[in-house]
Amino acid sequence: MQYEATFIFDKDNKNMAKKLTDYIETVGASIAKKDNWGVKSLAYPIAKRTEATYLHLIVEADSDQIKKLEQKIQLEEELLRHLIVKVD
């Protein structure tokens, strides 16, 4: 199944994109497409930040792999927001 995943993290954290892709590969999923949207202004401050880096991924995975991924990224304090949705 395909999932769309969008991650928002601190613009000064250069290693977060690599860390997130490593998490995806660790759970056995694969990345079909990677699109770095770059630094954007936030609609409202999150953790005292007004700008953040956006990373959008298309991920090939099953539901169990997504659950494992969610568990891993929940523990990541440097990740400001994330959203993973199933593509129909």
What CATH number is given to the structural domain containing 54? Answer: 3.30.70.60
Say if 7 falls within a structural domain: yes
| Whole-number pLDDT of residue 35 | 97
Residues with Cβ within 8 Å of 30's Cβ and at least 6 positions away in sequence, in order, are 24, 59, 60, 61
| Whole-number pLDDT of residue 24 | 96
φ/ψ (deg, to 5) at 16: -65, -40
Q: Is 90 exceeded by the pLDDT of residue 43?
A: yes
Q: Is 90 exceeded by the pLDDT of residue 14?
A: no
| Whole-number pLDDT of residue 4 | 98
Say if 24 falls within a structural domain: yes
| Whole-number pLDDT of residue 69 | 96
Copy the structure tokens of residue 35: 């699109």
Q: Is 90 exceeded by the pLDDT of residue 48?
A: yes
Say if 9 falls within a structural domain: yes
Number of domains in the chain: 1
